[in-house]
Each structure stands twice: as structure tokens, then as C-alpha cells.
């Protein structure tokens, strides 16, 4: 398993980049924050997030059949990529 | 890259020549074929892990037509070569490039031609996203979706996100005028377009992307021939030929809904040989418009676009050039 903090750090960086590019409000990221409701990510942002994480972390859990609907908040996202790292 | 021959039939162009809508549909077909190329399925069999049918929804298209090769130079029953190159960024984002040429012109539409002849050929770049129309609280909501790996042809992967993602946000914030003075032509009231089920949309389906351009053309006609005083004559309007249309799609619509279209822009003189050496045409001017489409019911932005068209006057109708020059004189452009 990869270092949790490294995975989290990468996810947080990618999310920060998308927030900056799309002009979204930046908030301190924590497990309970919901990606759609709290971060304001739309379909295009989520698509970019998944693709960028594949580039940065070298893994794509969703290509193995994990439903997108299973990932609601930041904690889900951290745990999913940690498990597939 | 996928290439194939396609004949312009009456299914494409009716009894006329190639037009923007027919070309966009042809490119849409090419895109669909490329997504399942080499697989034993059709594009409507692309599904996600839950078995839901997915489709790629465009969020940007940019069509470019060289002035010496206007769309209407491709006529009914012409044989065309169509090429499409689709790459993906992650599971759901697609980046595509399209090209057509007359079959047998000796240059083809291979990968090298895509790069080398981009300004010399009819081309389009586009970006799309796999989505599913999901039922949520008794309404239909478009959601991002991931295709099952065995439902998609192997596509080259991109290392960086498509530039159109950033550009779409910039355009939404700042518009497509890009500092140009675009107030010479402006609609005094929005053009209202009602989507007729069966004509503009099909049951349970959002409007196809190509229809946005068609609606923009209808609104453009209204602006130039009815709102402009005096308006362009219908014969002069018929001389308008597409050079470029860049469209960003922020939402979609369904049958029975009403849209409001806002336009502003300018019409400026150009060199008489802007189109090249074809003696049967005289280039009269360049029309540039920025266009925004909104839902009438709640003012939701659906699309923003910029279009450039050439006023290509047939040499045998040169009196229309005088009409156009009179317009420039009135507008202080002559």
C-alpha cells in the first residue's frame, strides 16, 4: 500500500488545480466534504479529476468497475485510491 | 485513426450541396464509428458497469472551413473521404479531430494530413464527455458515466487535459468577443426558438449538438434580414458561407422548450480575392457574430459561440456587391 499521506497529498493537489482553473471556491479539504455538494464539482470537473489522478497516481479504480456513485465525499476518494495504489 | 469513404446523398444534403448541419452530423457519425471501431458492437451498445446506455456529449466543437474550399463546393453525390482521430483523457473525456476531402484528390485524410493540412481542409476539433441520462426525482439528469472497457475501442491516451476545459470556463466568464468591437450588429430583442418534438428533438432525447448551429443560423437570418434596417436582401444573405464556428455547450434542452438567442457582431469589407483564385466568386465581406443561447423558462445558459462567415458573391450577381458596399457606406465601413 502506498503512503496514505502521499495519496492524499496528490488528490488534494489535483483538486486544488481544478478549483483554480475553474474558478471554484477553495476550502480546506477534509474527509466529510462532499465532492459535488460541498466542492461544487460538475461532471466535467469530476472527469478531469479522475483522468488527472490516473496520470498522477498511475491507477484508475473506476476502470475496474467501481461505480462513480460509490464516491461521495473526500474520505471515499482517499480510501478508494489508497486501496488501489 | 479511422478513415472511410462516404457519399453525399439526399439523406445528407437533400437536393442541395454540403451544409454545416449535414457536415456536423457526418462528423458525429464518424465519432460514433471510431468509438467502437474493431469491436462487434454499435455505438448505442456502449454501456457502463450497470448496463446503462452512455453517449458522448460534446462540450466544444470548432469547425474550420478554408475560404478556397467552401462547404457548398461539395455537392450531392460527391464521394468524400472522412477521417477522425479520437483520443481520451481518463475514462470519460474525449478529444477528437475530423477532416473531410474529396475522394481521389490525391492527398487523403491520414494522420499527416490532419497536421499538415489543417488550414487547407475542412476540419473540426471537438471535446466530449461520456454521460448517461439518469432519472432523478421524476426528471432526467445528465450525469458523467464511465464506459465498460470492453465497450470501447482502444483509444490513444492523452497525458494532459484537453485545453477546451479551461477555455470553456474562460469563455463562460468573458465571452467570445475577445476585445473586438461587436456592437455594430446587435439583436434588439432575443430571437425566440421553440423546439418542436419530432422536428428538433426526439422523444426522451436531448437535442443533438448539430442542432445548436442550425438554431444559430435561424437567429442570424432573423437578425440580418429582419432586425437590421434596412435588412440584407435574401439574395445577399444567401451568399453567406461558413468559415469558422467555435461552440461551447453548457447545457441542453428537450422538445417543447423555448430558447432565447442573443447575437451581436460586425460585418466588414475584405479583399475581393479573399476566397482565392476562383473567378466565379467575389469576396464581399466578413461577418463575425457572437451568439448566446439561453433557456427561456429560467435563463439558464446553454451555449456560447463565435462564427465567421464570408459574403461570397457569385460573379454573375455582381450587383449584390454594390448592395453590400452601400451597407458598408451606411455603417461607416466603406
Tell whether pTM > 0.90.
Answer: yes
pLDDT of residue B235: 96
Give the closest of A44, A54, A63 to B59, CB-based. Answer: A44
Query: Could you tell me the three cell numbers for A12?
Result: 488534494
Q: Does A50 touch chain B (CB under 8 A)?
A: yes
pLDDT of residue B118: 66
Give how far the C-alpha of residue B41 lies from the chain's centroid of Cα atoms, to the nearest Å: 27
pLDDT of residue B116: 63
pLDDT of residue B142: 82
pLDDT of residue A23: 87
pLDDT of residue B140: 73
pLDDT of residue B230: 82
Best probe of the A interface among B130, B146, B152, B248, by most A CBs < 10 A, is: B146
Contact B131 A43 (CB under 8 A): yes
The three-point CA angle A68-A69-A72 to 5° equals 100
Q: Does A47 touch chain B (CB under 8 A)?
A: yes
CA distance B42 to chain A (A): 21
ipTM over 0.85? The verdict is no
Q: Does A51 touch chain B (CB under 8 A)?
A: yes
Q: For residue A47, list chain B residues with Cβ-Cβ distance below 8 A.
A: 89-93, 129, 144
Q: Alpha helices of chain B — where are they, by DSSP H?
A: 10-13, 20-35, 111-116, 163-174, 209-222, 234-237, 319-330
Residue pair B130/B151 in contact by the 8 Å Cβ criterion: no
pLDDT digits (tens), chain B, 334 positions = 899 999 999 999 999 999 999 999 999 999 999 999 999 999 999 999 889 999 999 999 999 999 999 999 999 999 999 999 999 999 899 999 999 988 876 666 666 666 666 678 899 999 999 999 877 777 777 889 999 989 999 999 999 999 999 999 999 998 987 666 767 788 878 999 999 999 999 887 889 999 999 999 999 999 999 988 788 999 999 999 999 999 999 999 999 999 999 999 999 999 999 999 999 999 999 999 999 999 999 999 999 999 999 999 999 999 999 999 998 887 766 5
- Asked if pLDDT for residue A25 goes beyond 60, the answer is yes
pLDDT of residue B201: 92
pLDDT of residue B141: 76
pLDDT of residue B106: 60
Q: Which of B16, B18, B28 is nearest to B210 (CA)?
A: B28
Residue pair B97/B114 in contact by the 8 Å Cβ criterion: yes
Amino acid at each position: 500500500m502506498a503512503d496514505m499521506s502521499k495519496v492524499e497529498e496528490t488528490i488534494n493537489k489535483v483538486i486544488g488545480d481544478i478549483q483554480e482553473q475553474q474558478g471554484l471556491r477553495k476550502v480546506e479539504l477534509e474527509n466529510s466534504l462532499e465532492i459535488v455538494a460541498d466542492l461544487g464539482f460538475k461532471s466535467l470537473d469530476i472527469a478531469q479529476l479522475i483522468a488527472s489522478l490516473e496520470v498522477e497516481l498511475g491507477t484508475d479504480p473506476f476502470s475496474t468497475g467501481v461505480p462513480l456513485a460509490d464516491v461521495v465525499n473526500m474520505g471515499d476518494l482517499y480510501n478508494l485510491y489508497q486501496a488501489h495504489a | 485513426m479511422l478513415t472511410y469513404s462516404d457519399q453525399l446523398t439526399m439523406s445528407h444534403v437533400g437536393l442541395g450541396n454540403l451544409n454545416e448541419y449535414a457536415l456536423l452530423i457526418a462528423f458525429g457519425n464518424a465519432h460514433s464509428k471510431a468509438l467502437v471501431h474493431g469491436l462487434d458492437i454499435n455505438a448505442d451498445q456502449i454501456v457502463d458497469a450497470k448496463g446503462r446506455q452512455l453517449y458522448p456529449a460534446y462540450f466544444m466543437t470548432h469547425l474550420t472551413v478554408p475560404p478556397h474550399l467552401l462547404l457548398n463546393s461539395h455537392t450531392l453525390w460527391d464521394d468524400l473521404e472522412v477521417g477522425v482521430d479520437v483520443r481520451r483523457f481518463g475514462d470519460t473525456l474525449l478529444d477528437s479531430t475530423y477532416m473531410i476531402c474529396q475522394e481521389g484528390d490525391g492527398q487523403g485524410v491520414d494522420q499527416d494530413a490532419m497536421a499538415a493540412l489543417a488550414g487547407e481542409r475542412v476540419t473540426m476539433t471537438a471535446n466530449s464527455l461520456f454521460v448517461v441520462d439518469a432519472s432523478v426525482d421524476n426528471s432526467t439528469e445528465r450525469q458523467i458515466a464511465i464506459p465498460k472497457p470492453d465497450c470501447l475501442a482502444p483509444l490513444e491516451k492523452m497525458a494532459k487535459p484537453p485545453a477546451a476545459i479551461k477555455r470553456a470556463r474562460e469563455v463562460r466568464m468573458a465571452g467570445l468577443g475577445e476585445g473586438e468591437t461587436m456592437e455594430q450588429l446587435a439583436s434588439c430583442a432575443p430571437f425566440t426558438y421553440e423546439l418542436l418534438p419530432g422536428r428538433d428533438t426526439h422523444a426522451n432525447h436531448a437535442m443533438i449538438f448539430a442542432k445548436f448551429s442550425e438554431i444559430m443560423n435561424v437567429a442570424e437570418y432573423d437578425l440580418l434580414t429582419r432586425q437590421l434596417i434596412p435588412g440584407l436582401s435574401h439574395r445577399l444573405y444567401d451568399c453567406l458561407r461558413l468559415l469558422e464556428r467555435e461552440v461551447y455547450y453548457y447545457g441542453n434542452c428537450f422538445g417543447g422548450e423555448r430558447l432565447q438567442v442573443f447575437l451581436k457582431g460586425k460585418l466588414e469589407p475584405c479583399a475581393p480575392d479573399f476566397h482565392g483564385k476562383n473567378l466565379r466568386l467575389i469576396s464581399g465581406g466578413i461577418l463575425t457574430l457572437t451568439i448566446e443561447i439561453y433557456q427561456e423558462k429560467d435563463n439558464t445558459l446553454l451555449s456560447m459561440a463565435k462564427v465567421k462567415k464570408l459574403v461570397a458573391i457569385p460573379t454573375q450577381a455582381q450587383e449584390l456587391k454594390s448592395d453590400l458596399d452601400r451597407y458598408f457606406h451606411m455603417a461607416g465601413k466603406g
